[in-house]
Amino acid sequence: MNWNDDLIQRIKNGPRILFLGQKYLEIDNNENPMLKAIKQKFFNDDTSIENYNLFLRLSEVNNMELDLTLGWIQKRCERISAPEWLNAISNIYWNSIYTSSVDNVISKCFRNSWRTFKPIINNRIYPNDLRSITNLHGTFLFGNVSRITKSERPPLDEFELLEARDQAKELLKRLPSLITPFGVLIIEGYDFNNDWIKIEDLYPLINSLNRNQVHLFNCDINNISSNIFANKLIETDKLVIHKEGFSDFLLEAERKGIFNYDTLIAYDEQLELKRVTINKKRVNIPKNLYNDIIYSAIVLDDSINLPIDDLPHFKIIDEFKNFLLESSVRPIWDGYKRKFNICRTFEHILYNLIKDQLKQTFESDLIILYGQAGSGKTVSLGKVAYKLKCEEIAPILFIEKKNQKPDFEIIDRYCKWVEDSGAEKTIIFWDDSVNADQISQYNDLKHYLVTRGRKVVIIGSSYRVQDTNQNKDIKYTESKVNLDENEIKSFKAVLNRVYEEVPNNIDLETFSKDSNFLVLLYRLLPDTKTPLRKGINDETQENEKVLTNLMKMDGNEQHCNILAELLIAKLKEINFNFTDNAMVKDKYDYEESIDIQIQRITELIVVPGQFGLSVPIELILRIINKGFNEKIVKLFEKLDVFRITQRRNGNLEISPRHQVEAKLLVQYRIGSYQKQIDIIKELIENVKNSTAYGEDNEISFIVELLKNIGPNGKENSRGFMSFYMDIAKSLEIAREKYGVVNSRLMLQEAAFMREYVQQNNKSSMDLSEKIKTMENAEKIIKSAISIEEHTSNRKFKGFLYNELATNLGVRLREYINNNYKKKYLLNIASELQRAFNMTRKLDPDTYYPVDVLGWSSISLVDSKTLGESEKEEILANALSVFERVESENTSVKDRKDFIKRKLELSNKCKNSELSNQTFNKLLDMGSGAGIYLMCRQRLINIDMSKEINLSEVETCKSTIKYLKEFDEIINKDSRCLYLLLQLIWLVKSRKPIFYNEKQTLPFDKFCWQEINNIARKIIELDGEYANVPIRYIEALSYFHLGDFRRCIEVYKEIRNDEIYGRRRVIASHLASNEDGTIKVYSGTVESYKEETKSGRIYIDAPEIRSELFFSGKEFTSKETILHTTHEGLNIAFNFVSPYVIKGWGNK
């Protein structure tokens, strides 16, 4: 591409910046009509000065007042017509105009019916829509004749010119960021010798841009050949010289058919079209897909990049206040465009983390932005999402906080569509602000998408995280509540942009000393908590008075708010009984009762609102449905301390204006935890289990509310702990009295009962009461399991079984602490083991059931009731579980809690003095526990999760030999068999089974046969709990034994198992020769689908002779042509199937 084509492309794509020099009016005219008039008026043509230096002599020769002089020049300029060439190029969608001229002809020329023109006269003006096409900004580097202030008018002597040039240089510094690496700067009418902006002034900014980004038109190369700065820029292609004018250049380009004015529009004229830019191509989102995805997430489509309307100053202030409030709930894109947000330091860290994860070749780590409520997480997530969208790095979804969780299946469909459209990855922001223990929900989404082959970068939000090093697969960034020095400067800059004069109640000096982000949210009200709480309470009371007055209004009045109409429709849907005013006997009593009901509404909203939750409107109306008037709907037209939101599915929800306001109002008005619990109980006992109003919206709300007041809830949730049984009883009332039988609520009910017992472990709570409570909780959770038996939600069923295991573990501890008989302990331990097995089967990626088994096993080993053989059995079982979990899920070894619990168990093994009598007793029982523990003691200094050295190989070999001495017993013990499998793998490859991606395996046929035999025995012993990794090993061994048919049969059994997100689609191993080299195959392309960029290749090797899957991303477009034959192919294995890759045989 030559520079002409490049220039046309840059003009089409933008940003497009036009610089008009002081000679622009002389093009095609040979003289500047403004300067000619000045010369005649003030100098009687008695001067040889022909350029802008005339202005520098005005103060010498003119005795008139300055404003009159400039006023005359302004009026004269208004009579000057813009040159025809300028009128022609003004039709282009310019992003900004710069000029060193001082006339106002430019303003007239570029202002039209669809575009405003806003002059920037000094460097204090910095609009947030500086590139706006419809609000075009024109920067006058040396002022304008329409202004009289010194900093805004033209300089009138040499000294003023020096000052003005400094300001001009500051304004020029904005150009590189305006132009970006993709835009173009067109310079026209530049007087190289006499312009007040010298080439030396332009040099730094031009040199900072890329090649061919700056084009100088109407320039004679002979005039600038002697200038070293110009020559340097020309030599490096930083400045391109054109003899012709810019308009002539465009006319020639249009004549050649390579340019058309209609192609300059960079956004859709039909705004209803939803498009996203993928790999620099704008693609229409399928209508059905868009209509589905918007219920779960905000699609950052190309409309977000559209310019925004200019607003009068008072509207800007309103928009700013609205941004402060609304942006804490959901992104306000126009607010970011207007630069209402503070530039937070951690946003740069978060942005770079996302960019780094986008570069990952396959699976990206989860990113979490954490911080206390009100620290600005939502605002910053929206800002980073907006910035990434502006850069068009990748398609983006933004999931805002709602009671109803997003539909993973629809998100998967959208991600697949963007990948099929050419995207490498999708960025997903999920701003749910969960507690630290609920971060797993983000991993659940990642797990769901990754197991389906999607490539995503997921960014979640949470409250405080105590240990950010616990999981190396999660990248943490903190949203700090205190602002640093640069952030304070940014905030001050925002205020100065918004307010012509910063209001008195905004004390910038105080803010500098007390730099808390929450202060910003309250517009720097007094920083003492009591006045702040009282102020919010007073405002709320005023709103409540408004509502009371509204109740007196004529019921026949028309509703002026669409949300009010929807609310009335909702009232009728639930058969709301409206009060007949004629039936009210005492008007005073009626008004008093209304006032109480209004206060009740406030409390029902702010208690959940302090946790960032919105309350379903039907739930509130159901609670206050006692003599209440229909006119409550007017509340949402008049009150501003609450907001009503209509979800995409039609649900109406009410929430406080801001979460932190709700917290302060709760503290000031409600106060005690007891009163808050009473309100929460009322919400629970009035909930309905129905999807009539939007997919169990009320159930989802109650579940989220209970999570927030639970033991792992947000800060200050510990005050609710003593009321856990009250909460459980309310859930029981809803379930038994009102028929709200919902497994999600039953899970919460059982958990609150268990937590109540745990919190009262050392109190005077009667033992029999504790045991009865735990038994009742287990019955509830088993009923919930029964309800979910035939559902497909494996993850939730895993939660239920995990709660059952935890509950059993707590009851087991009570039995141990109170010296219950052995049979009770062993019965509970056996039931706990079954619950653990089911949890691991349903959700093997979760660590929590492993921890439950760990601490409950340690309690059993420490008990005085069990015998030595029983203790050794339990210890061997727990150690085996931890070793196997670590082997099959390598990421778990980075968890500190896993390491700590495993170390506790290892120390128990290390300190265990296994007597010959106990060892023989275990053998006589047919148990391999003693054998396993003896082996573990032999291997105590070997980390089996890493590569091993030669001396460790010998230790492993001797342990293998020891195990095989008890061949008959270990063949019936999966613990010993899995240990044997691990040791054989380590000895032969020096690496663990699942170590790095695409491992090669130096195993001969005898070794593969032994591995196959062991794997099949383990699967038989594990029965229904046999998991994917061991079946994968079985399939891998069949392949290397040459039995491809059996290999595929095993894969068919495990292919639909959607667990093991991290390992499912990652190639763990490659087909290998006995010496560990990679096997190489040849094959022919039999099918290829462009929409999925995948196909099948027939592998002609005698032991295979079948078609295998391949991804088009591994091959060039020519290589995917049907019936093309390829050499140098390799076969990789993941948990889904064997598939074809290429080029690894040479690595």
Scanning 453-522, the segments in alpha helix (DSSP H) are: 485-498, 508-513, 517-521
Binned at pLDDT 50, 70 and 90, residue 576 comes out as: very low
- Alpha-carbon distances of 409 from 420, 428, 609, 697, 781, rounded to whole Å: 16, 14, 29, 19, 27
- Range with the largest mean pLDDT of 150-154, 283-287, 565-569: 150-154
> What CA–CA distance (Å, rounded) separates 778 from 85?
84
Model pLDDT, residue 19 = 97
Dihedral over alpha carbons 817, 820, 826, 832 (to 10 degrees): -50
Q: Which of 721, 749, 720 is nearest to 734 (CA)?
A: 749
Count of beta carbons in the 10 Å neighbourhood of residue 911: 7
Binned at pLDDT 50, 70 and 90, residue 790 comes out as: confident
Percent of the chain with pLDDT over 70: 82
* Edge-first strand listing for the sheet containing 456-462: 298-299, 396-399, 426-434, 456-462, 366-370, 474-478
> pLDDT tens digits, residue range 174-223?
898 788 766 899 999 998 889 999 999 999 999 988 888 999 999 887 77
Model pLDDT, residue 1059 = 55
Strands 135-140 and 116-120: parallel
> pLDDT tens digits, residue range 295-345?
789 999 988 888 877 778 777 887 887 777 677 778 888 889 888 888 899
Q: Which residue has the higher pLDDT, 71 or 325?
A: 71
| 128, pLDDT greater than 70 | no
| 952, pLDDT greater than 90 | yes
Give the residue-averaged pLDDT of 530-550: 49
Strand, coil or helix: 531: helix
Strands 1125-1133 and 1081-1089: antiparallel
Alpha carbon 62 to chain centroid, angstroms: 64
Model pLDDT, residue 525 = 33
Give the residue-averaged pLDDT of 364-383: 86
Q: What is this structure's pTM?
A: 0.63
| 621, pLDDT greater than 70 | yes
| 571, pLDDT greater than 50 | no
Q: Which of 671, 673, 594, 666 is nearest to 635 (CA)?
A: 594
> What CA–CA distance (Å, rounded) separates 26 from 194?
13
- At 687, the amino acid letter reads V
Strands 1125-1133 and 1138-1142: antiparallel
Give the residue-averaged pLDDT of 23-40: 89
Q: Which residue has the higher pLDDT, 628 or 278?
A: 278
Q: Which residue has the higher pLDDT, 1018 or 583?
A: 1018
Model pLDDT, residue 960 = 95
| 622, pLDDT greater than 90 | no
- Alpha-carbon distances of 591 from 451, 571, 580, rounded to whole Å: 60, 22, 14
> pLDDT tens digits, residue range 905-928?
888 887 767 778 888 888 888 899
> pLDDT tens digits, residue range 1080-1100?
999 999 998 876 778 899 998
Binned at pLDDT 50, 70 and 90, residue 895 comes out as: low
> What CA–CA distance (Å, rounded) separates 442 from 434?
10
Model pLDDT, residue 892 = 62
Would you report the helix, strand and coil content of the chain in percent, each value rounded to 5?
55, 10, 35
> What CA–CA distance (Å, rounded) separates 353 from 372?
21
| 697, pLDDT greater than 70 | yes
| 972, pLDDT greater than 90 | yes
| Domain definitions of the chain by residue range | 3-30+83-263, 275-481, 528-650+659-741, 998-1147
Give the residue-averaged pLDDT of 435-459: 83
Model pLDDT, residue 574 = 45
> Is residue 307 within 8 Å of residue 135, measured between CB atoms?
yes
Strand, coil or helix: 277: strand
Positive/negative CA dihedral, 682, 686, 692, 696: positive
Indicate if 275-481 has the same CATH topology as 3-30+83-263.
yes
Model pLDDT, residue 1040 = 96
Give the residue-averaged pLDDT of 710-724: 78
> What CA–CA distance (Å, rounded) separates 318 from 314?
6
Q: Apex CA 130: angle with CA 129 and CA 134, to 5°?
A: 70
Average pLDDT, the chain: 81
Residues in the chain, overall count:
1147
| 581, pLDDT greater than 50 | no
Q: Is the peptide bond before 395 cis (omega within 30 degrees of 0)?
A: no
> What CA–CA distance (Å, rounded) separates 721 from 706?
12
> pLDDT tens digits, residue range 402-440?
767 888 889 999 998 998 888 889 999 999 887 766 787
Q: Apex CA 80: angle with CA 77 and CA 84, to 5°?
A: 135
Count of beta carbons in the 10 Å neighbourhood of residue 683: 23
> Class of 3-30+83-263 per CATH?
alpha beta
* Three-class SS of 38-68: HHHHHHCCCCCCCCHHHHHHHHHHCCCCHHH
Please report where in the chains the tokens 């029983």 appear, as a residue: 870
Binned at pLDDT 50, 70 and 90, residue 386 comes out as: very high
Alpha carbon 718 to chain centroid, angstroms: 29
Binned at pLDDT 50, 70 and 90, residue 523 comes out as: very low
Question: What tokens appear for 918 in the block?
Answer: 């106990």
> What CA–CA distance (Å, rounded) separates 310 from 319?
12
Q: What is the CATH number of domain 275-481?
A: 3.40.50
Give the residue-averaged pLDDT of 9-30: 87
Binned at pLDDT 50, 70 and 90, residue 543 comes out as: low
- At 241, the amino acid letter reads I
Question: What tokens appear for 1076 in the block?
Answer: 């560990």
Binned at pLDDT 50, 70 and 90, residue 566 comes out as: very low
Q: Which residue has the higher pLDDT, 465 or 264?
A: 465
